[in-house]
Structure 1
Amino acid sequence: MVRFACLYNALIYLGAGCFSVYYMVAYHDVGLSVLLISIVNVVFDVSESASELPTSVLFDRWSRERTLIIGVLCRVAGFILMLFWSANFAVLCLANVLAGIGAAVESGAASSLYIEYARKHDPSLGMKTLVSRLSAMIGVCTICGGAVGAVLFLLDSQLIWLGATVFYVLAIIPLLGLMRAGSRTKAAATDGSGTTERQAEASVESDGSAEPGESGTSLTVLDHVRQTVAAAAVLLRKPEIWNMVVFNLGTLSVLTFWQLLLMGHQTGVWWQFAGLVFTNIAQIVGSRLGMLRLHPRSGDIAILVLIVSAVVLAATPMPAVRILAFFVFSCAQMYVANTISSSLHESIDDSIRATAFSVGSLVLMTFTAVVTPLCGYIADMFSISWGTLTTIPLLVALLIAGLARKPESAKRVKVDISLD
C-alpha cells in the first residue's frame, strides 16, 4: 500500500511541475492582461482556502481515497477548461475554482497518506526520515514535471495543461489500488476476528493519523467556530501574527511576477525551468541556514538581501542576472520565513497553535485578495518590472521596524477557549 501512496504523490507532483512556473506566461499568451491574471490567481487562492475545512472533514470522516479522487477529478476538470478555453476570462475563473478545490484536497492529505502507510509498513522509520524522503521525492518529481512542461510549452504554451491532465488522470490508478487493498484488508480482519468495518476504521484513526473525539464529548462545528473567534481576538493583537502577514505580502509581487520577467520565445521557458530548479534548491539552502547560529541581526540582513535582489531582478534586462537574483531572493525568503514562523511558534501556547496559523492564513488571504490585483494593475499601467516591485516597500518597513529579529524572550500566549 505504501507503494500506491508513493506513486500517487509522485504523479501529482509531476503534474504540478508541468505548469507551476509556466502558467502565468500561458495566460499571458492567450491575451489576458496582467490585472486579469492577478484576479484569476485570487480566485484560485480563495477557492482553495474556502475548501480546506469541508474537504478535510470528508477526508477524515468519509473516505480518504474517495476524497482524493474527487480532488483529482476537480483538478482534471479545471485543466481541461484551461486547455481549451483559457482566453475566456469567466471560464478561466471557473477552472481555477475547480483547481482550488482540488488543491485544497491535496493540501496536507497527500503527504499524510504516504506517511501513514509508510509508518505502518516500517514502524522503525522516524518522522524526520519520512519527511526527508517525501521532500526529496517531491523535489525530484516537481523538477522532472517541469522539464516535461518546458518541452510541451515549446510546442504550444497551452499544452502544459494537457501534460498536467495526463499525470493527474494516472494518479487515480494508485488511489483505486489503495481502495482495493484497503477493502481486502478490512475483509480479512473481519473474517478473522469478527471486527466490524467501523471498528477497523476507528482502529486506523487511533493509530495516530487522526484523533477522534469520544462519544458525547466531541465538539460541534459551532463550538469550533466559537473557539476560533475567541482565540483570534487575542491572537490578532500579537505582533508575530502581523509580522508573518506583512512579510508574506512584501514578497508577494516578486513571487507572483518573476515568471513574466523571464518570459521569451525559445530561451524564456528554460529560464523559467531554471527558476523552478533554483526554487527547490533555495528551500534546502534556506532551511539549512535557519539551523545555523548566525548573527543576531541576520533576519534584518536577510530582508536587506531580499530588497536588493528584488530590485536587481526587476531592473536588469539580462535573464542570467535575473535568475541569479531570483535564486538569492528565494534563499533569503525561505530563511526569513522560517525565522518568523519559529518566532510565532515560540510565542504561542500549544493549545492554540493550529488556530494561530489558521488566523494568520485567513488574514493573509484577505489582504492578498486586495493587493494582488493592485500589483497587476500597476504592471499593466507601467511595466511588469514596476509590478514586481509593488509590495517591496512593505519589506522596507519591516527592515526599519526590525521585526525580522528574533525576540530574546517571547512570552507565550494561552487563550481560554472553554465553552463553559
Structure 2
Amino acid sequence: MHYRVAVTGLGIVNPFDGEGEPNSGGVTDFFQRITNGQSAVSLYETQDIPRPISVPAVRCAAFRPELRLGKALSTMMERFAQLGVAAAFDAWQDAGLDKEYCQASGMTEASGVAWGTALGGLMAFERGYRDFWQHGRERVPPMSVVLGMNNAAAGHISIQLGLGNSALTYSVACASAATAIGEAFQHIRNGRAKLMVAGGSDATLAYAVVRAWEALKVLSPGDKATAPQACRPFHPERAGLVLGEGAAALVLEDWDHAVARNARIYAEIAGYGANADHMHLVRPDQNGQVAAMNMALNEAGLSPSELGYVNAHGTATREGDPIEIAALRTVFGRHAEQLAVSATKSAHGHLMGATGAVEALLTVLALHYDTLPPTAHLDRVDASCAGVAHVRGTALRGSKVTSALSNSFAFGGSNAVLAFKAVR
C-alpha cells in the first residue's frame, strides 16, 4: 500500500535575510524576490594568504546563529549545521508544530530526518589545517570531529525535535538535498514513517573549496558591477556557476495525518526519480537525466503532456545546460515547446548540497501561489538551449500549472528528480 505525502512546512536561511530588520526575510520574502528576478549574487572578497579570493558568490551575511539557535546550541555546530538546523526549526514551526509535539503525541518513532550536504563541516577541518601550518599550533580544537562530521545537522535536528524514526544523511554532491527529500518521501509513501523533516545545507565558501572549483575552471568571473548577473543559465554568454551558502527544509507528512491535525498543505509530493549515469564522473549524461525524469513522472502518475513547469538544474555551464534541455525535449516531445522552464540558480546561486532543497521549496511555492519564477538575466536564449518555454525576465503569474518537476543532476553521475502536484 502506498500513502499520499503532503508538504506542510517550509523553512529557509537565505541571503536576503537581514535586508530589513535583523534576521528578517523568510520563505515568502525569498519567493517574492526570486520571482521578481532579484539577484542574491555579489562579489565575495577575502584577504587570505597566499592569494586573496575575489569571485561572485552568494552569502548569508546577516545570519546570526546565536540569535536563531541560542548561543549554547550554536557553538556546538559548524556553519553548515547552523544553517540547516535554523531552516529545519523554521519549517517545523511553519508546519504548526512545536518542539514537544512528537513526545506529546506519541509520534517520536514515526518521525525522522533526512538531510543532504555535499561538504558537511569541512570548514572545521580547514581551520585545523590553518592552525597547524599557518599558526604553528600543536593541536586542533578538541570539538573538530563533532563539528566536522557530515551527519551533524541531521543529528542536531533529530535531538532537538525528538525525531526517533531516523536521522539519515545523504552526500551526493549537488543532488544531496533532492535525494534526501526523495528518500524521506519514500519513507512516508511506503509506511515507514508518518512525518519527516527533509532538506539540505552547505557552507561552500571555505578557501580550499573556492580554490578547488576555480581550478576546475567552471566558476563564473565578475567584478562588483557585473557580479549580480554572473550566473546566466541558458544564455549564449553564460560563463559558469556561482557558489553559495544556505539551507532549506521541508516538512513531509502522511496525508491523512496532516488532514487530521488540520495542517496547511502547500502541495503534494507525488514522485521521485533517482539513478546513476554510470558514464562519467563529471560530464552529465542525457540518457540518465531522461530516465530520472521519467521515473518521477511515472511514480506521480503524470503523463508528460500534463506537466506544466520544471525548475531546471541549470548551472550556467557551457556543457551542462544544453544537455539538460535536450533531455527535457526527449522526455516531453512536442509538449516541450509549451513547458515552462526556469533555472533559479540565476538568482540564488549554486548552494551545492542545499540547492535541491531550495529549488524544491521554490517549486512547491510556485504551485502554491500559481506563480512561476523566471530565469534571471535571460534576455537571450542560446540556440543550443532552445525548444522549451523559458520563463524569462519576469515571473509567469496565473499560469494554472498543476504539476511540476525539480531537477538535480550531480557530479558522480547521480540524478534526483522530484515531482509535485498543486493542492487547490
What TM-score, normalized to structure 1?
A: 0.29
Larger radius of gyration: 1
More helix by share: 1
More strand by share: 2
What TM-score, normalized to structure 2?
A: 0.29
